[in-house]
């Protein structure tokens, strides 16, 4: 299913909410036809909210294209996934800070990102990032080390046999980006840090192709819109 937002982006003060319900026994893949854009703000903060509820025995794949934060953008994004019973989930979020190809860094503004997953009222995964334009954390070795693209893929479920293959697959990626994979109890986490949204997306699609059959026994069939 494609999520269409005709304006293509938000500005300071805007509020954009997405609510999805996947009923028992159903399977949904949600993606977007293009990158989302967070435009420069005069001071107000844009609010983005994604509420994703998955019933017992259902699966949800949340696979949007990247979000681009323009220099001066001020926004807060909250993604909450609520799973019931044996529900399954794979999702990713790819963030681009500034537009380096156009000579624009993320020198001003602020982006706060929250991503959480719950099952039957118990938190499985909870992460919060606060990225201020021009802050030392964007350039320090312990932070983003000057990279402009940061991305996370999360899959709920255990696929131990897939981990070595997944690490080998992502380590084969070239360019100056870095991938990392870890299993935290019932949550598998894949990270990307680099300067290419295309590389992050390609790596995550490859990981998704491997994880989907490993977790759910279903071969991956990429949406046709990804090829355009």
Question: Average pLDDT in the 14-38 region?
Answer: 93
**What is the pLDDT, as a whole number, of residue 13?**
87
Of 58-67, 160-169, 216-225, the one with minimum mean pLDDT is 160-169
Question: Average pLDDT in the 99-126 region?
Answer: 93
**What is the pLDDT, as a whole number, of residue 96?**
96
Of 60-74, 104-118, 121-135, 164-178, the one with minimum mean pLDDT is 164-178
Q: Which two tokens stand for residue 207?
A: 């990981």
**What is the pLDDT, as a whole number, of residue 228?**
61
Q: Percent of the chain having pLDDT more than 90?
A: 67
Q: How buried is residue 221: exposed, middle or buried, by Cβ count under 10 Å (0-12/13-18/19+)?
A: exposed
SS3 127: strand
**What is the pLDDT, as a whole number, of residue 160?**
65
Q: What is the DSSP string of 64-116?
A: ---EEE-TTBEEEEEEEEEE-TT-EEEEEEEEEESBGGGTB---S-EEEEEEE
**What is the pLDDT, as a whole number, of residue 70?**
94
Contacts of 168 (CB under 8 A, 6+ apart): none
Domain boundaries, the chain: 9-217
Q: How many CB atoms lie within 10 A of CB 208?
A: 20
Contacts of 81 (CB under 8 A, 6+ apart): 52, 53, 54, 60, 62, 89, 91, 116, 117, 118
Question: Average pLDDT in the 197-216 region?
Answer: 91
SS3 33: coil
Alpha helices, H only, the chain: 162-171, 197-216
CB contact at 8 A, 228 and 222: no
Q: Is the model's pLDDT at 174 over the cut of 60? A: no
Question: Average pLDDT in the 59-81 region?
Answer: 95
**What is the pLDDT, as a whole number, of residue 165?**
79
CB contact at 8 A, 69 and 97: yes
**What is the pLDDT, as a whole number, of residue 175?**
63
Q: Is the model's pLDDT at 5 over the cut of 80? A: no
**What is the pLDDT, as a whole number, of residue 4?**
79
Give the CA diameter of the chain. 50
Query: Cα dist. 154→116, 134, 186 in Å?
Result: 10, 28, 10
Name the strands in the sheet holding 74-83, side by side, starting at the edge strand that comes first in the sequence: 15-22, 46-54, 74-83, 110-119, 122-132
Question: Average pLDDT in the 22-37 region?
Answer: 93
Question: Average pLDDT in the 2-24 region?
Answer: 87
In this prediction, residue 173 has a pLDDT band, given cuts at 50, 70 and 90, of low
Q: Is the model's pLDDT at 93 over the cut of 90? A: yes
- The span from the CA of 14 to the CA of 16, in Å, is 7
């Amino acid at each position: 299913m494609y999520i269409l937002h005709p304006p293509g982006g938000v500005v300071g003060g805007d509020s954009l909410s997405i609510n999805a319900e996947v009923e028992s026994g159903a399977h949904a893949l949600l993606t977007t036809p293009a990158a989302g854009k967070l435009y420069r703000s005069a001071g107000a903060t844009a609010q983005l909210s994604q509420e994703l509820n998955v019933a017992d025995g259902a699966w949800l794949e949340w696979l949007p294209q990247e979000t681009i934060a323009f220099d001066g953008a001020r926004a807060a994004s909250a993604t909450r996934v609520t799973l019931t019973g044996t529900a399954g989930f794979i999702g990713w979020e790819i963030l681009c800070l500034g537009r380096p190809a156009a000579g624009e860094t993320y020198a001003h503004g602020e982006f706060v990102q929250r991503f959480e997953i719950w099952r039957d009222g118990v938190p499985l995964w909870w992460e919060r990032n606060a990225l201020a334009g021009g802050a030392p954390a964007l350039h320090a070795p312990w932070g983003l080390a000057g990279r402009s693209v940061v991305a996370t893929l999360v899959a709920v479920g255990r696929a131990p046999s897939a981990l070595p293959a997944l690490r080998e697959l992502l380590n084969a990626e070239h360019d100056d980006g870095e991938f990392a994979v870890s299993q935290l109890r019932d949550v598998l986490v894949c990270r990307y840090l680099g300067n290419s949204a295309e590389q992050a997306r390609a790596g995550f699609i490859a990981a998704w192709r491997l994880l989907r059959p490993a977790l759910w026994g279903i071969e991956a069939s990429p949406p046709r819109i990804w090829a355009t």
